[in-house]
Amino acid sequence: MIEKVVIDTSVIILLNKKKEVLLQKKDQGYPWFPGKWCLFGGGIEPGEEPSQTLIREISEEIGSIPSNLKLFKKTSYFENYIPDKIREGELQVYVGEFTGKISDISLGEGGGFGFFAENELDTIPIVDYNLKILKEFYSSLRQ
């Protein structure tokens, strides 16, 4: 039997001054996409607004709050990485600016983090739907 988990989520495309995106590397013990890179964010708790989720999650995950937070898009996501388990829901994708120094980042979860330029995204293992969102975002900057 397939277990289905529905989790609405808020994530952020967090950019530095060079328009590089900050990604989190999932640690090897994380059941969903161990060792893969992804956007920072997390699940929306009952009674919480998506923007509140994002601020809470980013504060927990990197220890700082982005500036100029804007909603980029709402979309659905679907994951079936784990056999016999599906995770899906609505994904709220925000964009924000990271104006600090990389030494200001205090990683609260995950196996690592890094800033990546658009042309580097196809060279690292990124969660598929996060890569699709990033390509759409960078394409929107050229329009």
Q: What is the CATH number of the domain that holds 80?
A: 3.90.79.10
* Whole-model pTM over 0.85: yes
Alpha helices per DSSP H over the chain: 50-62, 128-141
The pLDDT of residue 66: 84
In the chain, the number of structural domains is: 1
The pLDDT of residue 31: 64
The pLDDT of residue 110: 81
Output b/e per residue, 82-102; b: 16+ Cβ within 10 A. eeeeebbbebbbbbbebeeee
Q: Which residues of the chain have pLDDT under 70?
A: 31-32
The pLDDT of residue 84: 85
The pLDDT of residue 83: 78
Range of the structural domain that residue 117 is part of:
3-141
